[in-house]
Amino acid sequence: MEALIETRGLHKRFGDVHGVRGIDLTVKRGTIYGLIGPNGAGKSTTLRMLVDIIRPTNGTITVLGRAPQKAKPELRRRIGYLPGEIKLTERSSGESVLDHFKSISGTVAPGAVESLAERLDLDLHRPVRDLSKGNRQKLGLIQAFMHQPELLILDEPTSGLDPLMQHEFLNLIREAQNNGQTVLLSSHILGEIQHTADAAAVLAHGTIVAEGDIASLRITGASRLRTVITGTDARSLRSQLEKHPELTELEVREIGQSMVQVSGLLRGEPDSLIKTLSHYTIHDLTLEEPDLEESVLELYESTVTPS
C-alpha cells in the first residue's frame, strides 16, 4: 500500500530539550495508525510537525506525497487535523466557527456538519464560551471530519468526551477507514488503539521503542496465568512456584474450602510450571496473552530515560 505519511530521522529540539529524537514513521493509505505514549513522549510534537505548525530541527517529512512546508494551503484541504489543545473564538457560536474552518478546508457536503453535530449531540448555536471541554472537543472533531479529508490527524481525540461519545468517535473513524480515508491518532487511552488501530508505534522520551501491528506489540512469549487448585495451602504452593523464575508478578491466596487461587505473568514455555501444578487438583486454568496496556507498561519500564 502507498505510504501517506513518511518521516525519516525526525528530530525536534526546544533549546536544550529534545522533544523528538530520530523518529522514522510510515503510515499506509487506508489504515488506522496509533501513536501511544504518556504525556511528554513526543506524540503531539510529531503530529504538529506533520501539519507544519512547527518545523523539525532535523529530518524529513512527506505527507500525501508532499513536504508540508512547501504545500501548506493545498495540503490543509486534504487533511483533517485535531490539535491536542483546541483554541476557539470565545464569542462566536459553534456554527460560526465551523463556517470559518470551511473557508480553510474547502468543500463540505450539504448536511455534513448537521449530521456530525447530531451524532455527537452538540448544539451548534451556543456560543463557544458556554461550551464545556467535552463539547469544545466535539466541535474540534466536526471541523476535522466535515470535509471528508483523505487523511485525518487526530491528537488525543477523545479527551473530555464521555464514554458514549467515545464510542461514537470510534464509529466515526471506522467509517472513515471504510470510506478509504487514512487515520493517524495519538492516545494514552490504550483501549482506543487496541480496538481500532491496524498498527501502532509506542513512544517514550521522544523515540519509538516499539512498532508494528497490534498483535506484535504484546509481550512476546508471555501469558497471563490464572488457576484455582486444591490439595495444598497458599504458603506451601507459593514456595513451590517461586522456584520458577519464568513466573513473575506472582499472587497466591486462599479463597475458601481449601481452594488456592494463583495468578502471574508467565514468560516462555509453560511445561515446567504445569508439571508442578499437576501434583495438585486443578479446578480451573487459563493462559491468555497480555493486553496492549500491559505490554506498553512493560516497554515503558524497560526504557531508560535519556540524559
Which string of DSSP letters, residue by residue, matches 215-260?
GGGSPTTEEEEEEEEESS-HHHHHHHHTT-TTEEEEEEEEEETTEE
Give the pLDDT of residue 307: 46
**How deeply is 136 buried, as exposed, middle or buried, from its count of CB atoms within 10 A (0-12, 13-18, 19+)?**
buried
247, β-bridge pairs: 266
Identify which has the larger pLDDT, 153 or 188: 153
97 lies in the same domain as 111: yes
79 lies in the same domain as 195: yes
* Residue 134 counted as domain residue: yes
117 lies in the same domain as 244: no
Quickly state the pLDDT bin for 42 (edges 50, 70, 90).
Answer: very high
Write down which residue in 157, 184, 217 finishes a domain: 217
pTM over 0.85: no
54 lies in the same domain as 202: yes
181 lies in the same domain as 272: no
Residue among 272, 223, 265 at smallest CA distance from 247: 265
CATH of the domain at 25: 3.40.50.300
* Residue 80 counted as domain residue: yes
265 lies in the same domain as 213: no
Write down which residue in 217, 236, 251 finishes a domain: 217
Give the pLDDT of residue 176: 97
Give me the domain span that covers residue 270: 222-289
Over the chain, what is the mean pLDDT? Answer: 88
Interatomic CA distance for residues 24 and 6, integer angstroms:
7
180 lies in the same domain as 119: yes
- Residue-wise pLDDT for 155-190, tens only, equals 999 999 998 999 999 999 999 999 999 999 998 777
